[in-house]
Amino acid sequence: MPHLLSTASPPVLQITGGIATLTLNRPAQRNRLENEDLQTLLTHFQRVNEDHSVRVLVLTANTQGQPKPVFCAGYDIGGFDENGQGASSFERVPEALAVLRPITICALNGSVYGGATDMVLACDLRIGLQGLEWRMPATAIGLHYYPSGLARYIQRMGLAATQRAFLTARPLTWQQLEKLGLFEEFVQAADWQTRLNDLTQDIFSLAPLAAEETKKSINEIATGVAQEQTLRARVDLTSLSEDFAEGRAAFAERRKPVFRGK
């Protein structure tokens, strides 16, 4: 995992050994997202998608110097006044994140608010820091949330939790989030980097072809657009792959497989 960044900037992308780390980097502003940041995120997503050496993306934040860690305070509402910006421009970010080719982990190392909660939900997996809170204040500021975000909330968190989040605008504690089964685990600060590294390496060790194709199928089934013919074609593709042959051989020989993504 990369070191903490010291200079405020749009989100920073680092790629090392097939693992991409995307860091929100405005800690003094509680990592709120400006319109410039949204475009930078979309550019980074495209780069990650095109770099087939990248198998895992970790989305996290620089919380250095904050009195209480905040992963992201959400979208800067002043951005709504800029030409062509607002909810629809923000919506493109979690929508793009949700369909990225690599497996995505949100390393939620602080509290999260507003639209940034949808970015957390758009990731495939989540690990959280104990003590954080989660708040969706859309109705408290007079806004109906965009449709894809509402749908993702219901899909990931369930109807009751979505109703509570939007129709009370009260914060959810990390203990309440833990009960939803949404996170892999909530971790104490002292164990954060070790547990995040463990999760990242577990995912990185999966067969790349099988993991990517399975991610596509899970997302298609979840959103109701899956076609059985397509899913079965992916079964056939992976069953005839070099990776599956290597996985079976490694299992028989009681060793770690060496996958090539073929």
Asked whether residue 74 falls in the same domain as residue 178, the answer is: yes
- Burial zone of 68 (CB within 10 Å; 0-12 exposed, 13-18 middle, 19+ buried): exposed
Report the CATH number at residue 89. Answer: 3.90.226.10
Segment holding 118, helix H or strand E: helix 116-122
pLDDT bucket at 87, cuts 50 / 70 / 90: low
Residue 86 has pLDDT above 70, yes or no: no
d(CA 244, CA 251): 11
Number of structural domains the chain divides into: 2
pLDDT confidence band for 89 (50 / 70 / 90) = confident
Instruction: Assess whether pLDDT exceeds 60 at residue 159.
Output: yes
Q: Please state the pTM of the whole predicted model.
A: 0.92
Please tell me whether residues 199 and 220 are part of one structural domain.
no
- Hey, which residues does 21 pair with through a beta bridge? 14, 58
Do 101 and 214 lie in one domain? The reply is: no
Q: Is residue 242 one of the residues assigned to a domain?
A: yes
Question: By residue range, what is the domain housing residue 241?
Answer: 208-253
Residue 2 is assigned to a structural domain of this protein: no
Q: What is the pLDDT of residue 3?
A: 46
Domain membership flag for residue 160: yes
Reference 156, options 193, 197, 117; nearest CA is 117
The answer on 218 and 186 residing in a single domain is: no
In this structure, are 92 and 161 located in the same domain?
yes
Q: Are residues 182 and 213 in the same domain?
A: no
Please indicate, yes or no, if residue 261 is contained in any of the structural domains.
no
Indicate if 101 and 113 belong to the same structural domain: yes
Q: What mean pLDDT is predicted for residues 181-207?
A: 97
Bridge partners for 70 per DSSP: 111
What whole-number distance in Å separates Cα of residue 192 and Cα of residue 187?
A: 6
Tell me, yes or no, whether 258 lies in a domain: no
